[in-house]
Amino acid sequence: MAGVVLETLSWKKLIALGILLLLLLLSFFLIGGLVAPNPSNVMVVLGTKCLRKGSHMQEEWFIPFGGNEKCDSINSVDEDRVYDEGISANQIVFSFWLPYMRDGKQLDFSRWQQMLLTVMQLDIQYDPKFPMVKGNQYNCSLLAFFELGSLHYDYYLINVRVPVEPYKGINMEIGSLMDIWVIGIHQNGGFTKVWVSIKTAMFPIVLAVLIWFWRRIMMLTRPPNLLERTLFSLGIAMSLLNLPLEWLTLAVDMPFMLMINDIRQGIFYAMLLCFWIIFAGEHIMDQVERNRLKHYWKHLAAVIFGCSCLFIFELSERGVRLTNPFFSIWITDVGTKLALSFIILAGIAACSYFLFLCYMIFQVFRNISAKRTTLPSMSSARRKFYLGVIYRFKFLMISTLFCAALTVCFFIISQLNEGQWKFMDQDLNLEYTSAFFTGVFGMWNVYVIGLLCMYAPSHKNKPMETDETSNEEEVQLTHLPSETSSVQAFAAKAAAD
Amino acid sequence: MIKLKKCLDLQVVIILIWVLQSFVVNAMDMWWNLGVVGGAEVWRNQKVYILGAQPMCSQLKGLSLGQTKLCQMYHDHMPSIGRGAQLGIRECQYQFRFRRWNCTIIQGDSSVFGPVIEIASREASFTHAISAAGVVHAISRSCREGELASCGCSRALRPKDLDRDWIWGGCGDNIEYGYRFARAFVDVREREKNHPRHSAELSRMMMNLHNNEAGRRSVYNYAKVACKCHGVSGSCSLKTCWQQLPTFREIGDRLKERYDGAVESKFNKRGTKLVRKYKKYNKPTKEDLVYLDESPDYCVVNPKTGSLGTVGRECNKGSDGMDGCNLMCCGRGYNTFKRKLVERCNCRFVWCCQVKCKTCESIVDIHVCK
């Protein structure tokens, strides 16, 4: 293994680079917290109960408000008019217009708002025939309604009918349905703007660093080793995630964007997990010659298996929604079981992955401490080699742990923040959830940039010895640990005797 | 000539008095009137509506000067306020159906509940709170229906006009708008006059303001927060929450609890603020109800306090509670009648309308206070 930039960099430069990256990281959090609004917002719409007349087979749309187009509506299903005119359940249509009026103005959706997810809430009046809870309304749980991956149009009109079929028993004993609420969740345009700007800014930067990294490797006389290739793929996955495809949604209807984003994110995290395994494996410092993918098949299989489980789950939820936005895998029993089994399998894969990873890191640390004891007796070149390996490993370990801890902390903060509702809190200006998203996104960008810079092969201070001698030394070195351990074992045995 | 001039003078005076009368609102005229049948009916009449809000708002009974102004500015809110008042009155009658005072509406009285509310009692505090809560509830609901023109949008700091506001950060929730409008509308009648320190009017004003606030908060604070996860693959990495309006029965139940634990108050030494009368009780929070005077005796008819008495009220023979015949009839005893009860039964249950039922008849004993 040749030296990397990290080892040859002076402390001054390293600190300067570290501070630069930290500042970049901080600015990501601040952009999210101060500039961007909350990632998504909600709109609660109460259905207007329109009356339909004429034949039931007629296809007809009912508009809840407006001048002449407004449908004939009733305020409540138990008002006098319903009894006087003999209105039947089949004549009532719940009509929703998204988005509704505000401040005397008819709002329209913007394509910046990216997606619309709706949930339905039914208000069912308490009936003494079905005593479940006291009170005048049942406490019904929410129903998933539909999900649109793109907000291409300005308005959406929703008509809901609850037709009654007495002979088939459809919609017969659901209780007295007073109201239907539709809760629409959309991404905020401001958040999209900030998010896309970050992506647009980061994409060329990461790409430039990636090209620089690859050129350095190409300049070497030897072919790139496994670690370098993995790092390069990690950079590609990051660039893929950075690619600001969202610009296209402003012009083209792309309902598959939600899925593409999920998949891009999945690829990146899978790559990151693979990278950690390979990095740890390449730093074990035992005599096994790795540098080949097939040595890691167990670990990588866990990652790939877990990810493909999640991918199938994604396809069967968001994928099906591309053709039927009302679909949800969770509504049928079989679907729920299927979805749960995929998630559990992915969870098992994740657990086994982490066990592998922990075991590998444990091996590395054991070998490091074994090496430490023998360091003084080594030749200077050898010592330098091992010190380099240990230093590289520790640096990555610390920075990864730092990133992971930051992610977890921010995730907890934003989750805690979300559940509470603040009443007329004027002075609160920090959006934790946005800060979490931009911050974590920026953090992995910084992480990847840092890795590509630090772990690129160095040109300075090339070892004096030729490759052959260093190889020779490596071979010699590999015998050392086993010898010492046998000596130690012997000593221990002697002591026990 | 002289005679004629006198005549004219008289006419002027009469007109003046008439004008004054139409502006000076009786202290106990209440906007709750809008909730009584016929109170807000004016609004249903489309012809009058076209004429404009101005004459309409002065026709409505029970509005104070400031409320009339608000009515003119936000005339589309008035049906919601009427619904809110109605909600409050109905809920009050439900909560107090087993009490000696049962929230009776006195027909033709512009204060709705009659002179009994003039006493700064627990009952008065409850009526103020529940009707304020009714307005918050009704306005928030109408907002969500897209019915009102002025329901606000987000209070985002950056963009200033509505369209950009909406695209940038979406619109905020409507319960807050309901709260704000109710605060403006309900409290304005209390704030119209200045009262000297230590005066009974000031103490009553402060009591009403406090109870109105308690009522409004009961809607806001008991709104349930519901959340939906919609992160990567629908995971909870991204969660959006919103408020569900509590049902008005829940609000009524909470306020009834507050009524039971209402705090008796008096002026502080400077005569500017209300403090609790007995130090052994907890300080009233913003959600607690406060009252100043003990309730009058509701057992017997008393034109002075406005109590209607419990003669003729139905009571429950087996109960030990307030609805029991012993307590309800204040020991005067009761008469028992037989009544034929016609009920709908064996109903075929469809979610709306067309409920086909049989009618079942049964004979029950009714106990009525002497």
For position A264, which CATH number holds? 1.20.1070
Q: What is the mean pLDDT of residues A19-39?
A: 90
CATH code, B310-370: 3.30.2460.20
pLDDT exceeds 50 at position B23 = no
The answer, for A181 touching chain B at a CB cutoff of 8 Å, is: yes
Confidence at residue A231, expressed as pLDDT on a 0 to 100 scale:
93
pLDDT for A5-14, tens place per residue? 888 778 898 8
Residue A493 has pLDDT above 50, yes or no: no
A117 to chain B nearest CA, in Å? 8
Per-residue pLDDT band for B314 (boundaries 50, 70, 90) equals: confident
**Closest Cα in chain B, distance from residue A394 (Å):** 30
Task: Judge whether B235 is closer than 8 Å to chain A, CB to CB.
Answer: no
pLDDT at residue number A475: 39
Residues A20 and A66 in one domain: no
pLDDT at residue A58 in the model: 67
Positive/negative CA dihedral, A284, A289, A294, A295: negative
Minimum distance, in Å, between the CA of residue A174 and any CA atom of chain B: 6
Q: Which of B158, B162, B167 sits opposite A113 (nearest CB)?
A: B167
- Please report the pLDDT score of residue A488 as a whole number: 44
Q: How far is CA A40 from CA A185, A196, B151, B154, in A?
A: 7, 15, 20, 13
Looking at the fold, whether A279 and A260 belong to one and the same domain comes out as yes
- Is the pLDDT assigned to residue B278 strictly greater than 80? yes
Cα three-residue angle B160-A436-A410, rounded to 5 degrees: 135
Q: Is A265 at the interface with chain B, CB within 8 A? A: yes
Q: Is the per-residue pLDDT at A465 higher than 70?
A: no
Question: Is there a contact between A107 and B163 if contact means CB atoms under 8 Å apart?
Answer: yes
| pLDDT at residue A487, as a whole number | 40
Q: Looking at residue A56, what is its pLDDT?
A: 60
Q: Are residues A35 and A45 in the same domain?
A: no
Chain B contact present for A9, CB below 8 A:
no
Q: What's the rounded mean pLDDT across residues B121-128? A: 92
Say what the pLDDT of residue A491 is: 44
Helix ranges (H only) for chain B are: 2-23, 46-50, 53-59, 65-73, 78-95, 122-144, 162-169, 174-191, 200-221, 248-260, 325-328
| Interstrand relation of B224-229 and A176-187 (parallel, antiparallel or unpaired) | unpaired
Q: What's the domain count of chain A?
A: 2
- Over 80: is that where the pLDDT of A405 sits? yes
B15 or A158: whose pLDDT is higher? A158
Q: Which residues pair with B336 in a beta bridge?
A: B367
Co-location of A178 and A301 in the same domain: no
Q: Which residue of B has its CA nearest to A141?
A: B226
Chain B residues touching A176 at Cβ < 8 A: 351-352
Residues 182-201, chain B, touching A (beta carbon < 8 A)? none
pLDDT at A417: 64
Answer yes or no: is pLDDT of A208 > 90.
yes
A254 within 8 A of A246, measured Cβ to Cβ: no
- What value does the mean pLDDT take over residues A36-64? 83
Rounded to 10 degrees, what is the CA torsion of A282, A283, A284, A287?
70
Q: Is the pLDDT of residue A194 over 70?
A: yes
- Mean pLDDT over residues A321-340, rounded? 89
Q: Is B228 in CB contact (< 8 Å) with chain A?
A: yes
Nearest to B226 among A40, A77, A142 (CB): A142
Gap from A23 CA to chain B (nearest CA, Å): 25
The rounded distance, in Å, linking the Cα atoms of B204 and B186 is 15
CB contacts of A97 in chain B (<8 Å) are 146
Q: Pick the residue with more confidence: A247 or A60?
A: A247
Mean pLDDT (whole number) for A340-364: 91
Gap from B218 CA to chain A (nearest CA, Å): 13
State which residue of chain A sits closest to B173, comparing Cα positions.
A43
pLDDT computed for residue A251 by the predictor: 92
Q: What is the DSSP letter of A275?
A: H
pLDDT at residue A55, as a whole number? 62
Per-residue model confidence (pLDDT) at position A273: 92
Q: Do you know the residue count of chain B?
A: 370
Domain that holds residue A60: 41-187
CB pairs under 8 A between A and B: 183
Chain B residues in contact with A88 by the CB 8 A cut-off are 353-354
Average pLDDT, chain B: 80
pLDDT of res. A472: 41
Q: Is residue A488 part of a domain?
A: no
On whether both A65 and A29 belong to a single domain, the answer is: no
pLDDT of A7 reads 80
Q: Are residues A92 and A202 in the same domain?
A: no
Which residues does chain A have within 8 Å of residue B234's beta carbon, measured at their own beta carbons? 317-318
Query: For residue A481, what pLDDT band results from cuts at 50, 70 and 90?
Result: very low
Does A321 contact chain B (CB < 8 Å)?
Answer: no
The pLDDT of residue A494: 47
A20 and A121: one domain?
A: no
B263-267/B290-291 β-pairing: parallel
* Cβ <8 Å between A117 and B228: yes
Is there a contact between A37 and B156 if contact means CB atoms under 8 Å apart?
A: yes
Reported as a pLDDT band with limits 50, 70 and 90, residue B155 is low
> Which phi and psi angles does A37 have, rounded to 5°?
-80, 180
| Side chain identity at residue B102, one-letter code | N
Best-predicted range by mean pLDDT among A195-209, A327-341, B22-36, B287-301?
A195-209
Separation CA B328–CA A333 (nearest Å): 54
Last residue within a domain, chosen from A187, A221, A247: A187
Res B308 pLDDT > 70: yes
pLDDT of B243 above 90: no
A174 — contact with chain B (CB < 8 Å)? yes
Residues A75-123 pLDDT 10s: 887 777 877 787 888 888 999 988 888 877 788 899 999 999 999 998 8
Q: Decide if A172 and B349 are in contact by the 8 Å CB cutoff.
A: yes
Taking an 8 Å cut-off on Cβ atoms, the answer to whether B351 and A176 are in contact is: yes
Mean pLDDT lowest among A81-85, B4-8, B120-124, B271-275: B4-8
For residues A26 and A64, state if they share a domain: no
Cβ separation of B241 and A313 shorter than 8 Å? no
Please, which pLDDT band fits residue B51 given cuts at 50, 70 and 90? very low
Q: Measured between alpha carbons, how far is B49 from A191 in angstroms, rounded to an integer?
A: 43
Q: Are A169 and A133 contacting, i.e. CB atoms less than 8 angstroms apart?
A: no
Q: Report, in this order, helix, strand and coil percent for chain B, each rounded to 5.
A: 45, 15, 40
Segment A432-453 mean pLDDT: 91
Do residues A184 and A423 lie in contact, with contact meaning Cβ atoms separated by under 8 Å? no
**pLDDT higher than threshold 60 for residue A469:** no
pLDDT of B52 = 47
Q: What's CA A196's distance to the chain center, in Å? A: 16
pLDDT at residue A348 above 90? yes
> How many C-beta atoms lie closer than 10 Å to residue B33's C-beta?
21
Same domain, A246 and A157: no
Of A45, A92, A317, the CB nearest to B233: A317
How many angstroms separate the CA atoms of B193 and B65, rounded?
11
Given a cut of 50, whether residue A471 has pLDDT beyond it is: no
Chain A residue numbers with beta carbons less than 8 Å from the beta carbon of B346 are none
A108 min Cα distance to partner chain B (Å): 8
Instruction: Answer whether B75 touches A (CB < 8 Å).
Output: no
Q: Is B160 at the interface with chain A, CB within 8 A?
A: no
Contacts of A42 in chain B (CB under 8 A): 170, 173, 240-242
Q: Output the pLDDT for position A229.
A: 92
Decide: helix, strand or coil at residue A342: helix
Q: Name the residue facing A104 among B149, B156, B237 (closest C-beta).
A: B149
Q: Supply the pLDDT for residue A215.
A: 92
pLDDT at A68 over 70: yes
The CB density around residue A157, as the number of other CB atoms within 10 Å, is: 13
pLDDT band at residue B55 using 50, 70 and 90 as cut-offs: low
The length of chain A is 497
Does B171 sit within 8 Å of A41, measured CB to CB? yes
Of A37, A103, A265, the CB nearest to B153: A103
Contact A164 B226 (CB under 8 A): no
CB proximity A419 to B under 8 Å: yes
Confidence grade of residue A482 (pLDDT, cut at 50, 70, 90): very low
pLDDT tens column, A216-239: 999 888 888 899 999 999 999 999
Q: Which two tokens stand for residue A110?
A: 């913007």
Could you tell me if B93 lies within 8 Å of chain A, comparing CB atoms? no
B324–chain A Cβ distance below 8 A for any pair: no
Q: Do B168 and A189 touch (CB under 8 A)?
A: yes
Q: Check whether B13 has a pLDDT greater than 50.
A: no
Looking at A187, A221, A256, which one is the last position of a domain?
A187
Q: Tell me which of A34, A44, A100, A156 to substitute to probe the interface with B (most B C-beta atoms closer than 10 Å).
A: A44
Residues 115-144 of B with CB under 8 A from A: 141, 144
Any CB–CB contact under 8 A between A143 and chain B?
A: no
**A10/A57 same-domain check:** no
* DSSP tag of A71: P
Mean residue pLDDT of chain A comes to 82
Q: Rounded to an integer, what distance in angstroms lies between the CA atom of residue A397 and that of residue B40?
A: 72
pLDDT at residue B125 in the model: 94
Checking if the pLDDT of A245 tops 80, the result is: yes
Half-sphere exposure of B223 toward its Cβ, with a 13 Å CA cutoff? Answer: 29
Residue range B190-226, pLDDT digits in tens: 888 888 888 888 999 999 999 999 999 999 888 888 8
Given phi > 0 = left and psi -120 to 50 = alpha, else beta, which region is B166?
Answer: alpha
Co-location of A380 and A414 in the same domain: yes
Q: Which residue has tokens 């090339």? A: A462
Res A84: pLDDT? 78
Nearest CB to B167 within list A189, A317, A424: A189
Residue A426 pLDDT > 50: no
The answer on pLDDT for A34 being more than 70 is yes
Average pLDDT on A325-348 reads 90
User: For the residues B16-30, what does the mean pLDDT come to?
Assistant: 45
At residue A135, the pLDDT reads 55
Least confident range of A37-51, A80-94, A315-329, B156-170: B156-170
**Domain end marker among A187, A217, A234:** A187
- Chain A 328-387, CB below 8 Å of chain B: which residues? none
Give the pLDDT score at A171: 81
Candidates A79, A81, A103: best to mutate against B (most CBs of B within 10 A) is A103
Task: Give the pLDDT score at B28.
Answer: 62
Q: Are residues A125 and A232 in the same domain?
A: no
Cα(A350)–Cα(B14) distance, integer angstroms: 90
At A490 the pLDDT is 43
* Partner-chain residue, chosen from A171, A188, A426, that has the shortest CB–CB distance to B170: A188
User: How is residue B52 written in tokens?
Assistant: 């404009």
Partners of residue B158 in chain A, C-beta under 8 Å: 190
CA distance B361 to chain A (A): 18
ipTM: 0.80
Domain spans of chain B, in order of start: 28-299, 310-370
Quick count: other Cβ atoms within 10 Å of Cβ A144? Answer: 16
Task: Say which residue the tokens 């039964």 belong to.
Answer: B345
